[in-house]
C-alpha cells in the first residue's frame, strides 16, 4: 500500500542552532541598517537577509522593520532636563539586615591553601 503524501508543508522547528543563526542574522541586519558595517560586509548581509533570513523569519511569522536607524545625538543636550531626570533616580543606603557572614561557610578556605572557594573556582 502506497503512503499518501500530505499536502501540508512541514512545520519549521526552532532548534537551538537555528535560533543562534537567527539571532546572529538579526544582529547583522541591525548593524547593516544602522550603518555600522563597512560596504563589502553590508552587501553580504543584505544578500543573506534576502535569500535566507527573510524567508525563515516569514515562515515563523516574524517581520523585521524596514528601518532600524539609531538616533544620533546632535550635540544639543538640555542640562536642565538631564538634571531633572537624574534627580528622579532614587538612591538609598545599603541595607545589610538579615545578612550574616557565618551563613555562607562555603566561602571558607577549607583545604587551608590560602584560597577561598571563590578563588579556587577562578583558578580552575
Q: How confident is the model at residue 12, as a pLDDT? A: 67
Per-residue pLDDT of 53-65, as tens digits, reads: 888 888 888 877 7
Task: Enumerate long-range contacts of 62-67, CB under 8 Å, 24 or more apart.
Answer: 64/26, 64/29, 67/33
The whole-model pTM stands at: 0.41
- Cell 566561602 maps to which residue? 107
Crossing angle for the helix pair 16-33 and 39-48, to the nearest 10 degrees: 130
Identify whether the C-beta of residue 34 lies closer than 8 Å to the C-beta of residue 68.
yes
Q: How far apart are CA 118 and CA 66, in angstroms?
A: 47
Q: And the C-alpha cell for 92? A: 538609598
Per-residue pLDDT of 20-40, as tens digits, reads: 888 888 888 888 888 888 888
Amino acid at each position: 500500500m502506497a503512503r499518501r503524501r500530505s499536502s501540508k508543508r512541514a512545520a519549521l522547528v526552532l532548534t537551538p542552532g537555528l535560533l543562534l543563526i537567527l539571532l546572529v542574522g538579526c544582529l547583522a541586519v541591525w548593524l547593516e541598517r544602522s550603518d555600522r558595517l563597512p560596504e563589502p560586509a553590508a552587501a553580504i548581509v543584505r544578500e543573506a537577509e534576502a535569500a535566507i533570513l527573510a524567508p525563515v523569519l516569514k515562515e515563523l511569522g516574524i517581520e523585521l522593520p524596514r528601518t532600524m536607524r539609531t538616533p544620533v545625538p546632535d550635540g544639543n543636550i538640555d542640562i536642565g532636563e538631564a538634571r531633572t531626570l537624574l534627580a528622579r533616580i532614587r538612591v538609598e543606603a545599603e541595607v545589610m539586615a538579615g545578612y550574616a557572614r557565618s551563613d555562607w561557610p562555603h566561602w571558607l578556605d577549607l583545604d587551608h591553601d590560602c584560597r577561598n572557594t571563590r578563588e579556587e573556582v577562578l583558578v580552575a
